[in-house]
Structure 1
Amino acid sequence: MPYEMIATLMFATMMLMLLTGQRVFGAIGFVAVMAALLLWGDKGGYDIGFSAAMKLMKWYPLLTLPMFIFMGYVLSESRIADDLYKMFHVWMGGVRGGLAIGTIGLMVLISAMNGLSVAGMAIGSTIALPELLKRGYDKRMVTGVIQAGSSLGILVPPSVVLVLYAMIARQPVGQLWLAGVVPGLMMAAMFIAYIVIRCWKNPALGPVLSVEDRDIPRAEKLRLLRAGILPLVIFAVMMVPFVNGWTSLVESSAIGAGAAFFAAVLKGRMTKEVFENSVRNTLGITCMFMWIILAALAFGAVFDGLGAVKAIEGLFTDQLHLSPWTILILMQLSFILMGTFLDDTAMLVIVAPLYVPLVGELGFDLIWYGILYTITTQIAYMTPPFGYNLFLMRAMAPPEITLRDIYASITPFVLVMVLALVLVMVFPQIATWLPDYVYDK
């Protein structure tokens, strides 16, 4: 059987298993191991899964995964995120759309604390959304703000998705995180610019807080400012030594986890319940990602053995005569299509064994492509009819926000993100400048 046919059969089998409700790592790992046994038999087939497991256990940077997840859960469970929003509420309430702008700032900081978009969605919908609605903000605009802002969690470091991409693409996690900083901040700034323009043209969308709400003693404002800056201090304590080369990435992740723990202790919020919830959630998320990475490595090993990447590259470039940029754009469109029914990790592990080596063969930088993938995933999360974030928001939003409101709210933000994606594609330096600068230094 031709290698192209084998690769197609593997993908078809995997998608069929996913459609029947099987777990992502189970479907991918099963197809990988069965294909290895059928292709190479007892002599070589058994080694595929074992080698993938050994590679996973020996990958030292993977230790960052539980550290950063623990840091995020400690900051979330200890309600330090609540202090952040109170700070934005007090200091930004006197500006048109100020609370919506503050919500974007909250999402950026939550992203820097957790690295998962679900955390931003949960915090935004439970803390920010009720306040925004109570203050008379347009429900469609603020629903879009929270969905768009929460998507930054998979782009702004310490992004857990970029850790997964680094493992599969065999690229340095530190460079990928640094590559996500400027595009993430650029996208946040574009969201803020959109909010400012909309509220300037139509002040009813984001009214200024009343004088009574803003009449807060200066001492209380300064107290909230100090409380809100605490997560920034933790992030700086963690990242500055790493950027300056004083610590490794794993050491920095341990510093961040320790700093978050001691901050919660000093504020008197590290209770037994908070600690147990943080550890339990960290263990669950870490194990999930490790199983997915293990399955993806086994699947990729089968593809390497088949030489399927070279065959598909020849199909696109030699037979169909497609240019490298056309192939790249088609890849991104396929991510948006898959994002209507899969989450980011599932999308990555399903197509990474094919896409990532193909991108390298076409001559593109894999660090830059990691950021393209992440931004495209953010867009796919919010693309109707079945975007992942759309249904998360529907589950968390109050009854007065309908699914129609959620669909309508996200359209302008998706257009802003498409513009950001185009900018990063046309000007790769947006993503590559910071890692090049830091690592060259």
Structure 2
Amino acid sequence: MLILSLATIATLAILLGSGVWIAFALMGTAWIALAFFSSFDPGPILASDFWGASYGWDLTALPMFIWMGEILFRSGLADNMFRGLSPWLNRVPGRLLHTNIVGSGMFAAVCGSSAATCATVGKMTLPELERRGYDANMAIGTLASAATLGLLIPPSIVLIVYGVVTEQSISRLFMAGIGPGLMILALFMGYLIVWSLVSGDRRGLTGRDESDLPLAQKLRQTLELIPILLLIGGIIASIYGGLASPTEAAAVGVVLSMLIARWNGSFNAAIFRDSLFAAVRTACMIAFIIAAASFLTSAMGFTQVPMQLARAIGEMGLSPTMLLVALTLMLLIMGCFLDGISLILLVTAIIMPLVSAAGFDLIWFGIYLVIVVEMSQITPPVGFNLFVIQGLTGKDIVTITKATLPFFLLMLVAIALMHLFPEIALYLPQTMTR
């Protein structure tokens, strides 16, 4: 098991470091694992996984939300968001870098997808932050990390999968995700404020200072936020009002973004064409990586590495706290090679009896599990948000990983706080059932 794990990591690192396309690197690693460490033929598995990953109703939401972000970016509505926020964030350390965190949190409540949140918010914020002189690494780190909240803040596809498999109330899981989601947002914003006070402002890394404006002008600029708020409100209302599923709401978002851009006088045939082609390119890049990651997930399943790791932990006889530490380490290792839903399915199939015997509340454990899955989204070598950011910026994986490291550590702090204070996750679902 150790030899296979090291060989897999080394193969993937060599392929990525040699400049091979990410999807081809994932496929090559999976092929080698199956060919040399199992008795299965890689060809049929590759064909089956690519076919299975190439269609699905839920997957339809991804290109729709990406297209919506392209429309917002190209029609100038994203710039309106910055103009509306900048007068109020001017005196907050970190200034407009907070828009990555707040914007990702808001969009996570709309789409429930980490990749879609990262791609959409990144299309809106990264060019503006660069133009205004903000530190590129901090802009990347805040975006890649905050975008993972698409898996936690409801509606969340991962929480739905966990609830179905463990027979837990999905509505209670959604309620339980709100508190930890807000806590992680607060931790990210708090770190950004401290970073800015300690180094950013002194070194001029938090953008050009915006001049103070009279209150009346601030209010006038704030009105420019109304189109974005209407868009987000329309999508959320269509979901929670029962009018549309998250996938259908993605299409609603595209239509609303076109109507708002047209009403704003900044939408034409050229923007429609350019935004559509750009969305197709980004969505195809992400879909190709998803298919390759599915193949790698199958390879890890056939080689039985995840099951052997879980069995080894179960035989240790650990206390609940040490069990949580061991599970976190195991899940982070597995998360390097498995996508979120596959990780959830493997864990619930193998270690749920162990978790129940240790006395963990299954609602609480579901939120913990999703946070660890979020961390795997920014964990090399196959952290999916890292690849999305690489596609948006062209920067290398090492630079992006270093930018996200502080936020990765803050997620570990969040897990520790949840363990010490379980009410962070359980207060709302317990209150709801009274």
- 1:258 aligns to 2:247 (yes or no): no
Q: Which residue, 229, 232, 239 being the options, matches 1:232? A: 229
Contact 2:22 2:289 in 1 (8 A): yes
Cα distance in structure 1, aligned partners of 2:379 and 2:11: 27
Specify the code of the residue in structure 2 equivalent to 1:23. W
Query: In the alignment, what sits opposite 1:16?
Result: 14
1:74 corresponds, among 71, 80, 96, to: 71
CA contact 1:179–1:431 (8 Å) conserved in 2:
yes
Does 2:350 align with 1:361? yes
Structure 2, unpaired ranges of 5+: 108-114, 356-364
Matching of residues 161-180 of structure 1 within 5 Å: none
Q: Is the 8 A contact 1:74 1:261 kept in 2?
A: yes
CA distance in 1, matches of 2:160, 2:26: 16
Deviation sequence 1:357-415 (CA, Å, 0-9, x none): 2475333645542323324655989xxxx99989x9997xxxxxxx9xxx9x9998777
The alpha-carbon deviation at position 200 of structure 1 amounts to: 9.7
CA contact (8 A) 1:68 1:257 kept: yes
CA distance in 2, matches of 1:290, 1:437: 40
Kindly state the Cα deviation for residue 85 of structure 1 after the two structures are TM-superposed: 1.5
* 1:150 equivalent among 143, 146, 163: 143
Q: Deviations over 1:14-49 (max 9, x none)?
A: 44333333222212223434554664466xx54322
Q: Aligned equivalents of 1:430 and 1:26: distance in 2?
A: 41
1:85 and 2:82 are equivalent in the alignment = yes
Report the residue type matching 2:417 in the other structure: L
Separation in 1, partners of 2:337, 2:255: 30
Residues 268-347 of structure 1: pairs in structure 2 closer than 5 A: 268-318=265-315, 323-331=322-330, 347=336
Residues 159, 174 of structure 2: 8 Å contact kept: no
* In structure 2, C-alpha distance between the alignment counterparts of 1:304 and 1:197, rounded to whole Å: 42
Whether the 8 Å CA contact 2:371–2:411 is kept in 1: the answer is no
Is the 8 Å Cα contact of residues 36 and 302 (structure 1) preserved in structure 2? yes
Cα 1:422–1:277, aligned 2, differ >3 Å: closer, same or farther?
A: farther
Q: 1:104-115, aligned counterparts within 5 Å?
A: 104-105=98-99, 107-109=101-103, 112-113=106-107, 115=116
Question: Separation in 2 of the partners of 1:168 and 1:25?
Answer: 25
| Residues 268, 274 of structure 1: alpha-carbon distance in 2 compared, 3 angstrom cutoff | same
Aligned AA (1:97)? V
In the alignment, the residues of structure 1 paired with residue 150 and residue 316 of structure 2 have an alpha-carbon distance, to the nearest angstrom, of 40
**CA-CA distance at 1:239 after TM superposition:** 1.9
Q: Over the residues paired in the alignment, what is the CA RMSD in angstroms?
A: 5.3
5 Å-filtered alignment, 1:118-197, equals 124=125, 126-128=127-129, 146-147=139-140, 149-157=142-150, 182-193=179-190
Counterpart CA distance in 2 for 1:387 and 1:282 is 16
Structure 1 gaps, min length 5: 134-138, 336-345, 396-402
Amino acid at match of 1:157: G
**Aligned equivalents of 1:199, 1:28: Cα separation in 2:** 37
Alpha-carbon deviations, 1:306-334, whole Å to 9, x = none? 43333222333326979532323324775
The alpha carbon displacement at 1:425 in A equals: 5.0
Q: 2:416 matched to which residue of 1? A: 422
Change (3 A) 1:373 1:306: closer
**CA deviations over 1:122-159 (Å, ceiling 9, x no partner):** 7556535665x7xxxxx8xx778645542454234389
Is residue 248 from structure 1 mapped to residue 249 from structure 2 by the alignment?
Answer: no
CA contact (8 A) 2:239 2:245 kept: yes
Residues 1:201 and 1:251: Cα distance change in structure 2 (over 3 Å): closer
* Alpha-carbon distance between aligned partners in 2 of 1:53 and 1:167, rounded to the nearest angstrom: 24
Aligned residues: 397
Q: Which amino acid aligns with 1:370?
A: V
CA contact (8 A) 2:118 2:388 kept: no
- The answer to whether the 8 Å contact 1:165/1:370 transfers is yes
Deviation at 1:6, TM superposition (A): 5.2
Match of 2:27 in 1: 29
Q: Report deviation, 1:181.
A: 5.3
What TM-score results when the alignment is normalised by the length of structure 2?
Answer: 0.68
What TM-score do you get using the length of structure 1 for normalisation? 0.67
- Secondary structure in structure 2 of the residue aligned to 1:157: helix
